[in-house]
Structure 1
Amino acid sequence: MRIRIITCYDVYNAGASLQAYALMQYLKDCGHEVKIIDYKPDYLSRHYSLKAVNNPEYDRAGIREIYLLVKMPGRIKKLFSKRKYRFDAFRKNALELTDTTYRTCEELKNIEEADLYLAGSDQIWNPIFPNGKDPAFFLQFTEKGRRASYAASFAVDALKEEDRQRMKEWLKSFDAVSVREQTGAALVKQMGLQSQRNCDPVFLLKQCQWKKILPETETNKKYVLLYDFDKNCVAEEIAEKISKKTKTEIWSVFKTEICDKVCADIGPLEFVNLILNAEAVVSNSFHATVFAIIFHKEFFVIERKERINTRVNDLLKVFGVEDRKMDHVKKLQTAKKINWQRIEFILQKERKEAEEYLAKITGEKKNE
């Protein structure tokens, strides 16, 4: 079957890149001809742009020019950074994209015909961001072939009425709807539509499959990985507590005073490697938590300041590890030891349900 996937795959976010790869690779392993649609609307193409004005306060004549002049040296430096190079290399070497790049939903109407158009995964339907309002991510550019989603995420637990009505009209055209969170399934139900909850695509690939694509890394250091977007004092306190208890260093993705090493230049594969080799993971990253589960790493989750915590809350609930969510360092004392045998049992169940759903929408028969 010829399958075309639309997702936010090239936004210089490790989780976004890895979920795109995982869904593509899983379907390829099933024998399908799969490509990710190279969809690059303006709002997803401003990363590393020299001319972007990210704050509307400065997007005024006279002010804009001064803003860009001040920002220019730092932006040029980032343009040639290892981080950008590693993300670009992953996109080039790991992802199979359509030959044509599309900038608008209108342009997508000229896309080559496919048997199945697939939307997902990750936060493609998040109404807080422009992609959640873009008809392209709801497959409104075609009436040919089958249309379905896989583990698409709203990332919120409530929708404005205008968003609900718009999404309802778009989703009515789908042959099948799969969402990533139970809260997402509830939102679809409120629209009067049916959906199925499925795990994030990275769970479709097993430990050994992820390890196979990772670059070799040499380190004799033991460390706790801190991946904190918000400079959360609770996250830092927990990392320090674990580091002291286990006599390990603290490695952080973002610069912080408590860390022994900053790992700011990582790409998608380096991100996975950091988790694989960590003694424990303290984060408010959804995909850092996902890979900690895959690799059986001790993990602790801190809430984000943004209103997108339903993703990780639902994830912890699925695996029965809600006590891993921390809002105070004292909660470390009440966190139960992770039962990895039970985690693996749940993961196998989640994977089986995902495989059955994907087999159904691709017309493939799964062997029992």
Structure 2
Amino acid sequence: MWHVIGMLTFHWADDYGALLQCYALKTHLSQYEETIVIPYSPKALYSRYSLVRCPRYLRLAGRVWSVLDSLRPGRFCSRWLAKRRIAQFRAQHLTSDRRRLLSAQEIAAYRREIHTYLVGSDQVWNPDITEGFQDGYFCTFRAQLPEGVRCVAYAASTGQERLDTSCDAALTEYLKNFDVISIREQGAVPYLESLCGVRPKVVLDPVFLLGKQEWERLLPARERPKERYIAVYDTEYSEEMALCLKNLRKKLGLPVVVVLHPMMERYCWGADRYAAGCGVKEFLALMHGAEYVVTNSFHGAAMSLILHKQFVAFRLRKRNARIENILQIAGQAARFVRTAQEGERMLMEPVNWTEADALLETERMRAKAFLREHVLANGG
């Protein structure tokens, strides 16, 4: 039976994690059925990745500073290069459709032959990230679809264990649009169950649907670094993490290489090199070639697990559920650290990859079983 799956996720984001999870889910599903990425790009979200940044949540002085900072020659050029490389990756591996659908109504009219709308993964249900709930990520176009079309959530995330109570009424109504719901974080299960009356399944982030060798196929040999170094990928600055890096650099005698986020660079780690202007493949190559990885990013930790890197993950100021959950699943909870001393100690502690791989494989099989049962028409 001919079947088309339409994905709704953060494919538009110039963010390594968002693009990696989209690539992995599409790659896995495309082995069995036609899978497309629907070019839904809400205006409020798409604009946050502009070359010249002027965040609306800042006051006037902050906006002026942000614009001037974006226009600094070095920063502007590195962002332009990163956006160019990311756009090439997106067109080659995700979607070459340059249209931008801005509303749920446009999604419904996009391709009438879609049989399953698949929402997720990523923080598509986190109003702090999406600047309020975005209708398209809740299939509010459901009433306009032909009979028999399904709406499924795969590894959707609220980014936290529960949202503000002011969100509860709207979220309760939105969740009624789904035939089946699965989420990424165990901690959010009680909250969502209390709203929709059904216990959502917990599944792995899509990046785990592909194994180490499948990710390595994405890397041309020439892109794999040969030097030994400590790779850093961050989502926020941490004094304890900076101190840990300073001590490790001295102790191990290895250079520190910071893989800069394409749109939110932080030149504050005292590193030997800041890798700016990276696309998705360059990011993967730097992670793959590292001797050690120090991160406070969920996908930094996830790719360390997949690529078998000695790593530690530092706690964020808030919203640690995502990293904590995946490290617990992999039996690596002790690698989620608070202090520089803990970070140094755990980075030197060898990972038991036999145990970690076995635990992740169990969850990977469950995730694939969910997709076979609820998304793939012929059971994959």
**TM-score, scaled relative to structure 2:** 0.87
Structure 1 residue runs of 5 or longer lacking an equivalent are: none
SS in 2 for 1:293: helix
**Could you tell me which residue of structure 1 aligns to residue 355 of structure 2?**
342
1:66-111 superposed Cα distances (whole Å, 9 cap, x missing partner)? 7797467338934872211111111111112557421122332322
For the pair 1:269 / 2:281, whether they are aligned, the reply is yes
174, 180, 194: which one pairs with 1:190? 194
Residue in 2 aligned with 1:169? 173
C-alpha distance 260-135 of structure 1, shift in aligned 2 (>3 A): same
Taking a change above 3 Å as real, the CA distance of residues 102 and 293 of structure 1, as seen in their structure-2 partners, is same
| Unpaired runs of at least 5, structure 2 | 260-265
Q: Which residue of 2 aligns with 1:107?
A: 106
**Preserved CA contact (<8 Å) 1:225 1:280:** yes
- Could you list the per-position Cα deviations for residues 114-137 of structure 1 after superposition, in whole angstroms to 9, with x for gaps in the alignment? 110000001111132236511210
**Match for residue 271 of structure 2?**
259
Structure 2 residue 28 is the aligned partner of structure 1 residue 26: yes
How big is each residue's C-alpha offset from its partner over 1:5-25, in whole Å with a ceiling of 9 and x where there is no partner? 000112111000111111111
Match of 1:39? 40
For residues 51 and 249 of structure 1, the distance between their equivalents in structure 2, rounded to whole angstroms, comes to 31
Cα distance, 1:157–1:110 mapped onto 2, change above 3 Å:
same
Measure the CA separation in 1 of the matches of 2:155 and 2:13. 18
Distance in 2 (alpha carbons) for counterparts of 1:287 and 1:111: 31
Counterpart for residue 379 of structure 2: 365
Q: Residues 230 and 129 from structure 1, CA distance in 2 versus in 1: closer, same or farther, beyond 3 angstroms?
A: closer
Written as runs of structure 1 = structure 2, the 5 A alignment for 1:147-226 is: 147-191=151-195, 192-215=197-220, 216-217=222-223, 219-226=225-232
Is this contact kept in 2: 1:178–1:198, CA < 8 A? yes
**Structure 1 partner of 2:121:** 121
Q: Pick from 5, 8, 23 the counterpart of residue 7 of structure 2.
A: 5
1:19–1:202 CA contact under 8 A, matched in 2: yes
**2:263 matched to which residue of 1?**
none
Shift of 1:186: 2.4
Q: Report if the CA contact (8 A) 1:178-1:197 is conserved.
A: yes
| Counterpart residue type for residue 204 of structure 1 | L
Farther off after superposition, 192-201 or 253-262:
253-262
Deviates more, 1:185-194 or 1:309-318: 185-194
Alpha-carbon distance in 2 for matches of 1:69, 1:205: 39
SS in 2 for 1:101: coil
**Aligned residue-pair number:** 360
CA distance in 2 between counterparts of 1:55 and 1:149 reads 29
Q: Deviations over 1:311-330 (max 9, x none)?
A: 11111111121110111122
Alpha-carbon displacement from aligned partner over 1:297-353 (angstroms, at most 9, x marks no partner) = 111111223x33211111111112111011112224763532110111011111100
Partner of 2:238: 232
Correspondence for 2:72: 74
Q: Which of 291, 295, 306 is matched with 2:303 structurally? A: 291
**Distance of 1:20 and 1:263 partners within structure 2:** 23
RMSD: 2.4
Structure 1 counterpart of 2:246, which letter? E
1:37-59, Cα deviation, whole Å (9 max, x unpaired):
10111112212254845444219
* Aligned-partner Cα distance in 2 for 1:134–1:218: 39
Tell me the residue number matched to 1:14. Answer: 16
SS of residue paired to 2:278? coil
- More moved, 119-128 vs 78-87: 78-87
The one-letter amino acid of 1:20's match is C
Contact 1:78 1:84 in 2 (8 A): no
**How far apart in 2 are the matches of 1:211 and 1:89?**
18
CA distance in 1, matches of 2:293, 2:65: 37
Q: The residue matched to 1:208 in structure 2 has which SS?
A: helix
CA distance in 1, matches of 2:76, 2:378: 48
Q: Which moved more, 1:117-126 or 1:134-143?
A: 134-143
Distance 2:332 2:50 in 1: 38
Change in Cα spacing, 1:121 to 1:97, as seen in structure 2 (3 Å) is farther
Deviations 1:201-221 (A, max 9, x none): 010011111111113325332
Equivalent residue runs for 1:79-94 within 5 Å: 81-94=80-93
Note closer, same or farther for the CA distance 1:68–1:260 as it changes in structure 2 (3 Å cut).
closer
**2:50, 2:279 → 1: CA distance?**
15
User: C-alpha separation between the residues in 2 aligned to 1:174 and 1:166?
Assistant: 14
